[in-house]
Structure 1
Amino acid sequence: MKVLVLAPSAYLLGGVQDWLAHLVPGLRAGGLEVIVAVPDGDHHRHGPYARAYPALAAQPLANPSGSGEGRIRAIAALLGRLNPQLVLGVNLVDLYPAAQRARRQGRFDGRVVMTLHALQAEYFDDLRRHGAGIEAVIATNRLACRLASERGGMDPARVLYAPYGVSVPPWQAPGGDPAASLKLAWVGRLEQAQKRVHDLPPLLMALQALGLEVQLSIAGDGEERPALERSLAPWIAGGTVRMLGHVDQRRLADQIYGHHQALVITSAWETGPIVAWQAMASGMAVVSSRYVGSGLEGALEHDATALLFPCGNVAAAAAELARLRQPQLLERLSRAGHALVARRYSEGASLAAWRRALDQVMALPPLAAGPAQPAPPPAGRLDRWLGQRRGEDLRRLLGQRFRHGSAGSEWPHSGGVGDGAAEAELLAAAGRLDIPGAPHG
């Protein structure tokens, strides 16, 4: 079976990138022909991506004009040239109208799958808008599966689950004496809306008030780094906090996983996170917010596989961390977390789930031909004067090209515009589904 994966190339860090880097070689080893294509432009750049992930052997996908019509043409041409049996879309929304166009032109008869990695309103809006041409959704989280049906309108029979996977070495007990000094790590993108990084300074204050001696390593980068460094300045100066910046997978294994006693997660929502499974695989305990996405997944169970606290409640988080001064509790959580990941989130378990999901997609009844996709908005005067297709023809003939200010503008992840109110409403509704009875704002 020939599988085409379309993914962004602007981002070299993160769980989605790590997932793809492990999944594709595994599928190839299992006998599938897997082709990866990534955009090549100003913000999405094939060269750095190919160097970061050489095992993917990613092909470049160029849009000479930079317009929306140009993106659709580029993908439709690729589909026509390869005619894969299965296409996995990874946060590139133009795949869906491009596939419908290639189908109508008789150049492509494969199946299109949305891989869902986020609990964000715009992706469920995309499902409603383009669902007539999407054969299936494969989500990495149980709650995301529910939302794909309830918010995205997908037939539940076409919503499949396949989790992220991590390498699981033999279990090792956390080192050091937690009663003397608790060695903690926080790993992720330094941003507030999802990751809630600004919970860390008040958490340190709460730990200080309890008389805990801690060492906190923060691995990650992002837009909130300067503000976070200012807030953490007293602890950084005193040696309590280390800001490591971006840390690749090799350095995470060498400096973080297995070298700290616990991972702290402060997130509002997650569809993994991979960092939790990686920490557990290394023998670290996990102390986490009850983030939206943790309930239906059923992996982080309070006092069984992890210690949990209400999202944003730093006093409760500090109290749970204080319990880790008991070596017996730390070892029990370490063993239970390692066993959980070995059973449910190992690379082998994940690969088997993804291969099973792909086979299920191919076994689904084919979709009826849907309505023609609406044309993208006019990209400029040529489109308004001549229509998008003739405007695009002339634009290419003249060598005109749009310059985009961001990666999301150059190759959009979704068809919507981020709306704070819509995201808040989704998060509240998702929380009620995920953890019934818990307070969600």
Structure 2
Amino acid sequence: MKVLVLAPSAYLLGGVQDWLASLVPGLRAGGLEVTVAVPDGDHHRHGPYARAYPALAAQPLCNPSGSVEGRVRAIATLLGSLNPELVLGVNLVDLYPAAQRARRQGRFHGRVVMTLHALQAEYFDDLQRHGAGIDAVIATNRLACRLASERGRIDPARVLYAPYGVPVPPWQAPGGDPATTLRLAWVGRLEQAQKRVHDLPPLLAALEALGVEVQLSVAGDGEERPALERSLAPWIAGGTVRLLGHVDQRRLAEEIYGHHHALVITSAWETGPIVAWQAMASGMAVVSSRYVGSGLEGALEHDATALLFPCGDVAAAAAQLARLRQGALLERLSRAGHALVAGRYSEAASLAAWRRALHQVMELPPLSEMSPEPAPAPAGRLDRWLGRRRGEDLRRLLGQRFRHGSAGSEWPHSGGEADGAAEADLLAAAGQLDHPGAPHD
């Protein structure tokens, strides 16, 4: 089977990048012919991406004009030249109109799949807008599957599940006496809306009030780092907290996973997270918020595979963490978490699920109709005067090019950015699906 994967290249860090770097070599080893293409421009740069992930052997995808029409034309041309049987879209929304164009022109006859990695309103809006041309959705989380059907209006038969996977070494409990000093780690993007990174300072204060001696390693970078560094300053100065910045997978394995007693997760929502599976695989316990995405997934069970607390409740989080000073409880959670990941979220289990899902997509009946290609707003005066396609022809002939201020403008993840109210509405509805009857802010 010929498979094309289209993914962004502006982001060299994160769970989606780690997932793709693991999945593609596994699919190739199983006999699939997989091509990876990533944008090459000002913000999305093929060169650094190819050096960061050499095993993907990604090829560049160029848009000489920087316009919407240029993006659609670039993808449609690639589809026409490769004519893959299956295309996986990873957060590049222009794939969908490009595939419709290539299909109408008779240059592409394959299936189109959205891989869904986030619980954000804009992606479900994209499913409504482009769903008639999307053969299937593959989501990494059970709740995301439900939302793809209920919010994205995709036929449930066309929504498939395949989780992330991580390496699972033999079980080994983390060393050191938790009753003396409880060694904790927080790993992720330093961001507030999803990750709730600013819960960490009050959490440390709550642990101090309980008399719990801790050491916290924070691995990650992001827009909230300066503010977090200021609020954590007393603990950093006292040696309680280490703010490590970005830590790559090698250093995570060498310095974080297996070298702390527990991973702390404060998130509002997740579709994994991969960091939880990595920590459990290393023998660490997980103490987590009951984030949206954890309920239907059914992996983090309180007092069985993890310790859980209501999202944002730092007093409850501190109380659960304090329990880990009991060595027997820590070891029980460590063993249970390791067994969970070995059975459900290992690289082998994940790869088998993705291979199964891809073959299921190929067995689905063809889409019933071909929807018209959406017409975006004119990119400039040439489009208004000549029409979008002739305007693009002249733009290329004249060597004109749009300059974009951000990666999301240059090659958008989605067709639009939902406002705060839309995101809050989605999170509330998702929370009720994921944790029925539980209170939600």
Tell whether the structures are fold-level matches, with TM greater than 0.5.
Answer: yes
Q: Counterpart in 1 of 2:332? A: 332
One-letter identity of the residue aligned with 1:389? R
| Paired letter, 1:244 | L
2: CA distance between counterparts of 1:391 and 1:187?
47
Match of 2:243?
243
For 1:368, what is the secondary structure of its paired residue?
coil
**One-letter amino acid matched to 2:133:** G
Pair 1:388 & 2:356 matched: no
Q: Which whole-Å CA distance do the structure 1 matches of 2:376 and 2:29 have between them?
A: 39
Amino acid at match of 1:300: L
* Residues 166-315 of structure 1 mapped to structure 2, 5 A cutoff: 166-315=166-315
- Per-residue deviation, 1:370: 1.9
**Shift of residue 347, structure 1, vs aligned partner:** 0.2
C-alpha distance in 2 between matches for 1:53 and 1:71: 23
Letter in 1 for 2:295: G
Cα deviations across residues 25-83 of structure 1 (Å, max 9, x unaligned)? 00000000000000000000000000000000000000000000000000000000000
> Equivalences for 1:69-108 in 2 at 5 Å?
69-108=69-108
Q: What is aligned with 1:165? A: 165
Aligned positions of 1:1-16 closer than 5 A: 1-16=1-16
Matching residue's letter, 2:140: T
Alignment-mate amino acid for residue 403 of structure 1: R
Match of 1:55 in 2: 55
Cα deviations across residues 230-289 of structure 1 (Å, max 9, x unaligned)?
000000011100011000000000000000000000000000000000000000000000
Write out per-residue CA displacement over residues 161-185 of structure 1, whole angstroms, 9 at most, x where no aligned residue: 0000000000001210000000000
Match of 1:155 in 2: 155
| TM-score when normalising by structure 2 | 1.00
Whole-Å Cα distance in 2 between the matches of residues 361 and 191 of structure 1? Answer: 35
User: Structure 2: how far apart are the matches of 1:63 and 1:368?
Assistant: 31
Q: What amino acid sits opposite 2:411 in the alignment?
A: W
Q: Give the C-alpha shift of residue 440 in structure 1.
A: 1.0
Kindly report which structure 2 residues correspond to 1:26-45, keeping only aligned pairs within 5 A, or say none.
Answer: 26-45=26-45
Q: Distance in 1 between matches of 2:123 and 2:134?
A: 13
State, as a whole percentage, how many aligned pairs show the same letter: 89
Q: 1: CA distance between counterparts of 2:44 and 2:330? A: 43
Aligned residues: 441
Distance 2:375 2:77 in 1: 17
Equivalent position SS for 2:18 = helix
Aligned CA RMSD, in angstroms, stands at 0.4
Partner Cα distance (1:418, 1:170) in 2: 43
Matching residue of 2:316:
316
> In the alignment, residue 326 of structure 2 is paired with which amino acid?
Q
- SS of 2:61's equivalent in the other structure is strand
- Specify the alignment match of 2:411 in structure 1: 411
Question: In structure 2, what is the Cα distance between the partners aligned to 1:127 and 1:365?
Answer: 19
Compute the displacement of 1:369 (Å): 2.8
Task: Give the partner amino acid of 2:315.
Answer: A
TM-score (norm 1): 1.00
Structure 1 residue runs without a partner (length 5+): none
